[in-house]
């Protein structure tokens, strides 16, 4: 059965488009240096749902062949026929062919008709060279794929007409939020390098930038000034690690034949580029050991964030990685990350293994949430302090062997 005009509800597609647009804007770093009109135009082009415009059919050279036919007595015989492959170009969003509007007519698409991204291809079989029969078949195909398009175009028009205003208002609101965030980061002693945003911006997607640590007074450690990684800062660091990892996944030439330290340094590069140390140390992020990423509190050099990077080598290495990471931490630490580079094919099975095995660790406290695809947040306790809670983000990136 064909999915023509029945695979998705059009209202859901429009709502998801709106949700994706607003989520994209909520991840942008909009400053005084951002060319907002240019950005708005890119977003409008990406999130507009373009109506379908069908072009002129383009027939192939006729091909004479035979096909088997069954007569009234059940006997098979060969019939001479003419086959023509017709290509019908179109502009617009091909997903609209699979959307069901609020009111639609049920239609069926012949198995010889295939809808691609920019054209419709069909094989037309004629019993003889008859142009009228050819045009009749072509018009039948066009009529079928066009049946519900008028009402679909009517129902996407309000979204397309209002998208420009929605984008402008949302960008302005986001600019205010970013301004407040940068003010906050300066107050907690973190100086943001404004040029670093460029390194996180691929051609069409502006990636989110990242902050860092603050300090709080501990009530349990003799009023000591204890550096604490605030949740907002941790979330931003975690998001950059995830975005960089996903970008590397799409470029095999980057991860081919790389060691753990090599891949670690790519993540470290983005973190170093994004931040300038506010006081004291020469760089906000640096190496701790062979495969670690370290963030220090600039005033006294205290470790407040550690990320451990490893190739996935099975359940045993998972436990060893957790033990190693927990062994680095003290009562000052609260938020960390364990990053696995997966060079095997069965990514889904590995994620399932981690979810089932990690709960068996003696310091496991609870599953917090699945933060992203293949990135899971857990709560642990320190080995020597069961009352001290540690948040560990377990992140997996797929770098298959080439």
Percent of the chain with pLDDT over 90: 42
CA Rg value for the chain: 29
> Taking 90 as the threshold, does the pLDDT of residue 185 lie above it?
no
Would you tell me how many other CB atoms lie within 10 Å of the CB of residue 395?
A: 23
Whether 149 and 201 share a structural domain: no
Q: Looking at per-residue confidence, does 334 or 195 come out higher? A: 334
Tokens encoding 144? 């079928």
Residue 309 in domain: yes
Residue 173 in domain: no
Cα–Cα–Cα angle for 334, 335, 339, nearest 5°? 145
Give the C-alpha separation, 295 to 331, whole Å: 16
Whether 240 and 355 share a structural domain: yes
Q: Is 44 in a helix, a strand, or coil?
A: helix
Whether 147 and 211 share a structural domain: no
Strand positions, DSSP E, 275-363:
275-276, 285-287, 292-296, 303-311, 335-342
Whether 131 and 217 share a structural domain: no
Give the C-alpha separation, 394 to 376, whole Å: 5
Which residues sit opposite 132 in a β-bridge? Answer: none
Give the C-alpha separation, 398 to 252, whole Å: 10
Residue 54 in domain: yes
Q: In the prediction, which pLDDT does 331 show?
A: 59
Residue 121 in domain: yes
Whether 237 and 330 share a structural domain: yes
Give the C-alpha separation, 97 to 4, whole Å: 6
Q: In the prediction, which pLDDT does 288 show?
A: 53
Whether 145 and 264 share a structural domain: no
Residue 169 in domain: no
Q: Binning pLDDT at 50, 70 and 90, where does residue 281 land?
A: very low
Q: Which of 95, 101, 105, 104 is nearest to 157 (CA)?
A: 101
Residue 171 in domain: no
Q: Binning pLDDT at 50, 70 and 90, where does residue 251 land?
A: confident
Q: Looking at per-residue confidence, does 196 or 355 come out higher? A: 355
> Taking 70 as the threshold, does the pLDDT of residue 256 lie above it?
yes
Give one word for 223, left, alpha or beta, with left for phi > 0 and alpha for psi -120 to 50.
Answer: left
Whether 83 and 216 share a structural domain: no
Residue 201 in domain: yes
Whether 138 and 29 share a structural domain: yes
Pick from 153, 179, 198: which residue ends a domain?
153
Pick from 128, 153, 178: which residue ends a domain?
153
Q: In the prediction, which pLDDT does 265 show?
A: 86
Proportion of the chain in helix, strand, coil states, percent, rounded to 5: 40, 30, 30
> Taking 70 as the threshold, does the pLDDT of residue 200 lie above it?
no
Q: Looking at per-residue confidence, does 52 or 177 come out higher? A: 52
What digits encode the pLDDT tens for the residues 115-166?
A: 999 999 999 999 999 999 999 999 999 999 999 999 999 999 999 999 999 9
Q: Rank 99-103, 173-177, 315-319 by mean pLDDT and report only the highest.
A: 99-103
Q: Are 125 and 134 in contact (CB under 8 A)?
A: no
Question: 324-327: which pairs have CB atoms within 8 A and are 24 or more residues apart?
Answer: 325/392, 326/363, 326/380, 326/382, 326/383, 326/390, 327/383
Whether 112 and 246 share a structural domain: no
What digits encode the pLDDT tens for the residues 71-96?
A: 888 888 889 999 999 999 999 999 99
Where in the sequence is the domain holding 13, given as residue range(s)?
8-153
Q: Which of 327, 331, 343, 359 is nearest to 399 (CA)?
A: 343
Residue 163 in domain: no
Q: Binning pLDDT at 50, 70 and 90, where does residue 205 land?
A: very low
Q: Binning pLDDT at 50, 70 and 90, where does residue 299 land?
A: low
> Taking 50 as the threshold, does the pLDDT of residue 197 lie above it?
no
Q: Looking at per-residue confidence, does 283 or 141 come out higher? A: 141
- Per the structure, how many domains does the chain have? 2
Whether 249 and 384 share a structural domain: yes
Whether 142 and 214 share a structural domain: no
Q: Is the dihedral of CA 281, 287, 288, 292 positive or negative?
A: positive
Percent of the chain with pLDDT over 70: 80
Whether 138 and 208 share a structural domain: no
Give the C-alpha separation, 20 to 100, whole Å: 20
Q: In the prediction, which pLDDT does 12 show?
A: 95
CA 284 to chain centre: 27
DSSP state of 130: -
Q: Is the dihedral of CA 273, 275, 276, 282 positive or negative?
A: negative
CA-CA-CA-CA torsion for 208, 212, 217, 221, nearest 10 degrees?
120
């Amino acid at each position: 059965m064909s999915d023509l005009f029945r695979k998705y509800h059009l209202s859901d597609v429009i709502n998801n488009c709106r949700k994706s647009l607003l989520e994209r804007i909520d991840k942008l770093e909009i400053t005084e240096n951002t060319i907002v009109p240019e950005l708005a135009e890119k977003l409008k082009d990406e999130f507009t749902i373009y109506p379908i415009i069908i072009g002129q059919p383009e027939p192939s050279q006729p091909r004479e062949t035979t096909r088997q036919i069954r007569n009234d007595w059940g006997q098979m015989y060969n019939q001479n026929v003419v086959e023509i492959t017709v290509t019908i170009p179109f502009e617009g969003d091909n997903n609209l062919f699979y959307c069901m509007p609020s009111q639609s007519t049920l239609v069926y698409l012949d198995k010889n008709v295939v809808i691609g991204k920019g054209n419709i291809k069909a094989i037309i079989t004629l019993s003889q060279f008859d142009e009228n029969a050819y045009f009749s078949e072509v018009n039948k195909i066009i009529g079928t794929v066009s049946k519900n398009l008028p009402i679909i175009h009517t129902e996407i028009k309000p979204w397309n007409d209002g998208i420009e205003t929605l984008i402008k208002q949302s960008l302005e609101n986001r600019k205010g939020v970013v301004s407040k965030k940068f003010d906050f980061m300066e107050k907690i002693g973190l100086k943001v390098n404004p040029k670093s945003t460029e390194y996180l911006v691929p051609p069409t997607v502006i990636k989110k930038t990242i902050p860092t640590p603050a300090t709080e007074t501990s009530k349990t450690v003799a009023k000591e000034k204890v550096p604490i990684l605030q949740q907002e800062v941790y979330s931003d660091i975690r998001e950059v690690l995830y975005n960089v990892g996903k970008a590397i996944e799409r470029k095999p030439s980057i991860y081919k034949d790389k060691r753990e330290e090599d891949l670690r340094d790519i993540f470290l590069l983005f973190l170093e580029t994004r931040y300038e140390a506010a006081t004291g140390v020469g760089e906000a992020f640096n190496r701790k050991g062979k495969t670690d990423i370290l963030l220090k509190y600039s005033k006294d050099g205290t470790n407040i964030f550690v990320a451990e990077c490893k190739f996935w080598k099975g359940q045993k290495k998972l436990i060893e990685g957790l033990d190693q990471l927990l062994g680095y931490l003290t009562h000052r630490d609260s938020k960390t990350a364990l990053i696995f580079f997966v060079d095997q094919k069965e990514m889904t099975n590995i994620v399932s293994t981690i979810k089932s095995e990690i709960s068996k660790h003696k310091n496991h406290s609870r599953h917090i949430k699945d933060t992203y695809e293949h990135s899971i947040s857990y709560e642990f306790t320190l080995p020597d302090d069961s009352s001290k809670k540690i948040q560990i983000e377990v992140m997996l990136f797929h770098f298959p062997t080439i």
